[in-house]
Structure 1
Amino acid sequence: MGEFTIKMPDVGEGVAEAELVEWHVKPGDPVREDMVLAAVMTDKATVEIPSPVSGKVLWLGAEVGDTIAVKAPLVRIETSAEAAEAAPDSVPEALAEKVLDQPVAVSSRSEAGAAAQAKRPAPEPAPAPRETPSFSAKPLASPAVRLRARESGIDLRQVTGTGPAGRITHEDLDLFLSRGAGPVAAPAGLVRKTAVEEVKMTGLRRRIAEKMSLSASRIPHITYVEEVDMTALEDLRATMNRERKSEQAKLTILPFLMRALVRTAAELPGVNATFDDHAGIIHRHSAVHIGVATQTPAGLMVPVVRHAEARGIWDCATELSRLAEAARTGTATRDELTGSTITISSLGAIGGIASTPVINHPEVAIVGVNKIAVRPVWDGAQFVPRKIMNLSSSFDHRVIDGWDAAVFVQRLKTLIETPALIFVEG
């Protein structure tokens, strides 16, 4: 024969000790593998301690009410030499199950245990056995019983528990199955799936992850969301598209936004900038190189429309269309994917109500375009339908103060809501 010592398991949450609140066994009792031996309580949960081996209890290391340190000896069990050697060094975390917000029935076996029990609110009396199970509370059962029930497809709420406080035992499961009550049948066509697909992050996806991690770790973001009335711009866009030449690209809202950014950058140059945080130098650019986040089959790319300040609406639309196609087909050059001074992020029709776009490091600002929706707007006399969109813009708070961010977005709002101003020179 051999001897196996069960130690107080690490119950997580940074807990170094726990209070013993219940023994299920006493010296001399026979135990079997997975049988619950004791229950301990932390400030967050009650944890049941199962036995990893079968055998006979030789010694208990504490009394109810005692505080036990993690890894302190708790129970010694006489078992076969083979079982003692094969058993794990500690109780597996999967078996040391936390049972939250459930009363624990404590049977005091000493004055210390009784005193400790008196310190806690008295547990509710165990319910009398009943044929109709209750569906309002989580059934009391050991981790091993729960595991067996899951594997057998048994809903424990349908099983009557005969243990202390209505606890469901292995014998209760045996009786339940002997009565012909089978597993809960799954709806036709529904099966359990356990496969896990491992996808190695490589290539562009890895570079995107590195770029996003760099931006999030080094740039303190501030996001400013503003509602913009797109009705006038959408009417103008529809008119211009009807009259466009065959060689001209179809206008989206992005060329208008790009031209509005050019006008705003001329008035607020601090936003069209990059920040070398190693050298502590802000580079304010007179050229407006606008990156446009573009979804491709390979992942997110940011082609750059260079010198937007020297391009008109149609030229911006043509260049944007060319670059987006090059990005999607994988033919964009390195120069076409680098060097932006400010970025636009747009998810088009699925753009949501608002977003928190991540700045394209080392830039200091990014403008997020959300979807357009028709909403009722009060015009002073009545509600009228208007096409409304939110701009969600993020800024590097080391460089851009909240006030300057608001001024920038409000200027964009004015230009977009009065699109004729976009075309005014000077």
Structure 2
Amino acid sequence: MVREFKLPDVGEGVAEGEIVSWLVEEGDTVTEDQAVAEVETDKAIVEVPSPVDGTVREIIPEEGEVVAVGSVIITFDVEGEPVEEGQTEGEARRAAESDAGTAAEADSPGEAEQATTQGDATEETVAEEVSTGEGRVFAAPSARRVARELGVDIAAVDGSGPSGRVTEQDVRRAAESADTEGESGELDVSSPMDGSASTGGPEMTEGPVDSGAPSPGSPAGGAGGSPSPVESADRDRTLAAPATRRVAEEQGVDLNAVPATEQRDGEAFVTSEAVMQYAEAQRQAQQSQAETAAQTPAGERVERVQYKGVRKTIGDAMSRSKYTAPHVTHHDTAVVDALVETRERLKPRADERGIRLTYMPFVMKAVVASLKQHPKLNAELDEEAGEILRKNYYNVGVATATDAGLMVPVVDDVDGKGLLQISSEVNELVQKARDRSISRDELQGSTFSVTNFGAIGGEYATPILNYPEAAILGIGELKQRPVVEDGEVVAKHTLPISLTIDHRIVDGADAAAFANTFIEYVENPELLLLE
């Protein structure tokens, strides 16, 4: 029995995911819950587990492809169930098509052409059959792609790879064999006047193709028993099998521009292999031109990087936040000598328990204590319902810079946890975010966020809201700065803060009041003992 497995919805709102890597190959035996692929969705890379015990039949998308949630990405032969039933019908159909092809060769050229047309009509069905796992076909994704390009029924191709796996070369050999069979029927003749020749290929001078690519008729590009081209491009007429003409159309190649392999009845004859080699030579020439252009001074100053994956997700979120909520940022500074002394006293105790104590747990506890006094900032606006949702729980997101971009791990129920527990959870979540092992659930559900841009320098900023939250607190670099105290300028440890609010539901006065309360807590950390 064939079991299809679709890309699951691994989180609310996810519509697609990128296949980062396959952890199995076709023909591998897998067990239920064994990871078969790594998929990047939204801000995390997640492992996709097998739903069954069985054997991998077909891997559909290639690594790097973006697929929609609900799309079939892999099929399995389930252990203990028959897997050959689907073959019987497929083999019978292929046998019938083979008989029809033989009859076409014996009949008139018009009937042979009709048979070719009928074969084209079944191509989509065969492709669907292979992609959905009906029939036992083991083929690499690249082989399936080439089969579609060349119009080859991959189910009829004999595989030369391990366990009968169909390779790209198997498909190309099958396409060439189909061309040879087509010679018994009617050969199409191309001319500039019949409207059938593509104009995608450039004109070439007399003589063999000389671009570093193998010449038609010499698969290895060197000496061998294959004939050399006897005529070059820019002809008026070209003999070719219908399948070859289809290949030329798909590749955007003018048959009359392809160096011929031989002469037949005074006309130039071209095979699909010659078309593919000519197309490859053109691609290599274009690539060479592009590389030459890239070596110019202007090319060296520009690098094109795809805008996708995590980077695009972040960009979309930032745009939605900035263009939905009117942002206002309030700036202030706290003098935190007492906080520095408190941390220094507690740090050895934390080290004894294997926990690295930073300032972030103090900041998070001060944030929660302030939110309890100023609940307008622990809220969001439900625009559809026309309601402000003020939340009575306190999940704090901690913005984290990673190689893949900005992520916001969330520590739940901060009000019910001590400094050491918060510190341990923050350290663990930040590390998981940076090595991309964090789960989607650990990136959701925050009611308020903190971003510590001071960790890499800087005093003030204008943080963008982690929408739909109503506020985000930015922390600048904690260091000694000049402070006026009793008319004297002295060095004190100061902590700059930047509080951004959604001005639709939070006023500037509310932001200032929250900031004052927060500053009171971090300047007098012993007050946190009362919370």
Corresponding residue number in structure 2 for 1:371: 477
Q: Does 1:356 align with 2:441?
A: no
Q: Distance in 1 between matches of 2:399 and 2:529?
A: 25
The counterpart of 1:214, out of the listed 304, 320, 330, is 320
Q: Deviations over 1:4-44 (max 9, x none)?
A: xxxxxxxxxxxxxxxxxxxxxxxxxxxxxxxxxxxxxxxxx
Residue 192 of structure 1: how far off its partner (Å): 4.6
Given that 1:274 and 1:362 are in contact with CA atoms closer than 8 Å, whether structure 2 keeps it comes out as: yes
The counterpart of 1:320, out of the listed 423, 426, 429, is 426
Residue 243 of structure 1: how far off its partner (Å): 2.7
Corresponding residue number in structure 2 for 1:273: 379
- What pairs up with 1:1-400 in 2 under 5 angstroms? 192=297, 194-195=299-300, 196-400=302-506
Aligned length: 235
Given that 1:371 and 1:389 are in contact with CA atoms closer than 8 Å, whether structure 2 keeps it comes out as: yes
Q: Distance in 1 between matches of 2:516 and 2:457?
A: 20
Given that 1:229 and 1:389 are in contact with CA atoms closer than 8 Å, whether structure 2 keeps it comes out as: yes
Given that 1:241 and 1:251 are in contact with CA atoms closer than 8 Å, whether structure 2 keeps it comes out as: yes
Q: Does 1:411 align with 2:521?
A: no
Residue 367 of structure 1: how far off its partner (Å): 0.2
Residue 402 of structure 1: how far off its partner (Å): 0.6
Q: Deviations over 1:114-162 (max 9, x none)?
A: xxxxxxxxxxxxxxxxxxxxxxxxxxxxxxxxxxxxxxxxxxxxxxxxx
Q: Distance in 2 between matches of 1:320 and 1:278?
A: 34
Corresponding residue number in structure 1 for 2:282: none
Given that 1:370 and 1:389 are in contact with CA atoms closer than 8 Å, whether structure 2 keeps it comes out as: yes
The AA in structure 2 aligned to 1:393 is L
Indicate the SS of the match to 1:270.
helix
CA gap of 1:382–1:392, structure 2 versus 1, over 3 A, is same
Indicate the SS of the match to 1:250.
coil
Given that 1:275 and 1:282 are in contact with CA atoms closer than 8 Å, whether structure 2 keeps it comes out as: yes
Q: Deviations over 1:183-240 (max 9, x none)?
A: xxxxxxxx95542211111111110000000000001001000011121101111111
Given that 1:248 and 1:314 are in contact with CA atoms closer than 8 Å, whether structure 2 keeps it comes out as: no
Corresponding residue number in structure 2 for 1:65: none
Residue 414 of structure 1: how far off its partner (Å): 0.6
RMSD over aligned CA atoms reads 1.5
Residue 378 of structure 1: how far off its partner (Å): 2.1
Residue 388 of structure 1: how far off its partner (Å): 1.2
Q: Distance in 1 between matches of 2:475 and 2:383?
A: 27
Q: Distance in 1 between matches of 2:325 and 2:487?
A: 45
Residue 405 of structure 1: how far off its partner (Å): 0.6
Q: Distance in 2 between matches of 1:394 and 1:259?
A: 19
Residue 246 of structure 1: how far off its partner (Å): 3.0
Indicate the SS of the match to 2:385.
coil
The AA in structure 1 aligned to 2:374 is L
Deviates more, 1:333-342 or 1:192-201: 192-201
Given that 1:351 and 1:369 are in contact with CA atoms closer than 8 Å, whether structure 2 keeps it comes out as: no
More helix by share: 2
Q: Deviations over 1:229-286 (max 9, x none)?
A: 1211011111111232433421111100110111111111111112222322211111
Query: Percent same amino acid among aligned pairs?
Result: 37
Given that 1:219 and 1:397 are in contact with CA atoms closer than 8 Å, whether structure 2 keeps it comes out as: yes
Q: Distance in 2 between matches of 1:404 and 1:254?
A: 23
Q: Distance in 2 between matches of 1:348 and 1:201?
A: 27
Deviates more, 1:245-254 or 1:361-370: 245-254
Unaligned runs of 5+ residues in structure 2 are 1-295
CA gap of 1:261–1:248, structure 2 versus 1, over 3 A, is farther
Indicate the SS of the match to 1:208.
helix
Given that 1:359 and 1:365 are in contact with CA atoms closer than 8 Å, whether structure 2 keeps it comes out as: yes
The AA in structure 1 aligned to 2:477 is K
Q: TM-score when scaled to structure 1?
A: 0.53
Given that 1:357 and 1:367 are in contact with CA atoms closer than 8 Å, whether structure 2 keeps it comes out as: yes
Q: Distance in 1 between matches of 2:351 and 2:408?
A: 28
Residue 381 of structure 1: how far off its partner (Å): 4.8
The AA in structure 1 aligned to 2:341 is D
Unaligned runs of 5+ residues in structure 1 are 1-190
Q: Deviations over 1:363-402 (max 9, x none)?
A: 0000000012312222215322101121001000000001
Q: Distance in 2 between matches of 1:278 and 1:387?
A: 45
The AA in structure 1 aligned to 2:465 is I
Q: Deviations over 1:317-362 (max 9, x none)?
A: 0111111111111111111001100000112432412100000000
Given that 2:350 and 2:420 are in contact with CA atoms closer than 8 Å, whether structure 1 keeps it comes out as: no
Given that 1:365 and 1:394 are in contact with CA atoms closer than 8 Å, whether structure 2 keeps it comes out as: yes
Corresponding residue number in structure 1 for 2:140: none
Indicate the SS of the match to 1:243.
helix
Given that 2:378 and 2:390 are in contact with CA atoms closer than 8 Å, whether structure 1 keeps it comes out as: yes
Q: Distance in 2 between matches of 1:334 and 1:194?
A: 39
